[in-house]
Amino acid sequence: MQTLDGQPCPMCLKKTLTLSEDAIDIPPFGKFFVFGMHCKDPECTFQKSDVESEQPRDPCRITFTIEKDKDMTVRVIKSSAAKLSFPQLKLSVEPGVDAVGYISNVEGVLQRFEQVLKTERDIAEEDEDKTKCKNLLKKIWKIKCGDVPTKMVIEDPTGNSLVVSDRAVVEKLKVKQGK
């Protein structure tokens, strides 16, 4: 891993930003680069990360059905440009300014959603909102146990996302052209 310390942070403008780059080989898909930025100033919370394939890839839509608890270990690579969703749960993460790219596994992806739902449950003022979050957390727990099959869908216009499983269905993604 290569790092570069003392760079100017785009948020606080102090020279407390660390840039990092690492290369990971994922057979048979090739080399992926993991980029990161992290401000070390305790008053600044800026962080950004992304992943990029060494070889140009076509825009893609990846569908993976989580069927059993062993699927929790399936590796997931999500670029910051990708939308990741669980359609049956009506949960998604959209690309945007605050979006991050990462390498994880299915369990790690679900844990990211759990963290958000737990926070929303804890700050919700309406009982209906708390109940909705609690029910979604129960469904995620059942998915992680392998009791409830569900689909995970990644749509990536850059093609830099990947689900490392022979059960992942990869289709070309039609990218809307701007006018």
3-state secondary structure the chain: CEEEEEECCCCCCCCCEEEEEEEEEECCCEEEEEEEEEECCCCCCCEEEEEEECCCCCCEEEEEEECCHHHHHCEEEECCCCEEEEHHHCEEECCCCCCCCEEEEHHHHHHHHHHHHHHHHHHCCCHHHHHHHHHHHHHHHHHHHCCCCEEEEEEECCCCCEEECCCCEEEECCCCCCC
Integer Cα distance of 175 and 84 in angstroms: 16
Q: What is the pLDDT of residue 1?
A: 85
Integer Cα distance of 19 and 37 in angstroms: 5
Integer Cα distance of 61 and 151 in angstroms: 12
Q: What is the pLDDT of residue 26?
A: 86
Q: Does residue 118 contact residue 138 with C-beta atoms inside 8 Å?
A: no
One CATH from 3.30.70.20, 2.60.120.1040, 2.40.50.140, 3.40.190.10 for 56-179: 2.60.120.1040
Q: What is the pLDDT of residue 179?
A: 46
35 CB-near residues (< 8 Å, 6+ apart)? 19, 20, 21, 49, 50, 51, 52, 101
Q: What is the pLDDT of residue 139?
A: 97
Which tokens in the block code for residue 18?
A: 């660390």
- What is the phi/psi pair of residue 110, to 5°? -65, -35
Q: Model's pTM, two decimal places?
A: 0.87
Mean pLDDT, 10 residues at a time, over the chain (179 residues)? 94 95 88 94 92 92 97 96 96 87 96 96 95 97 96 96 96 74
* Residue at token pair 């891993």: 1
Q: Does residue 45 contact residue 80 with C-beta atoms inside 8 Å?
A: no
Domain ranges of the chain: 1-55, 56-179
Q: What is the pLDDT of residue 177?
A: 61
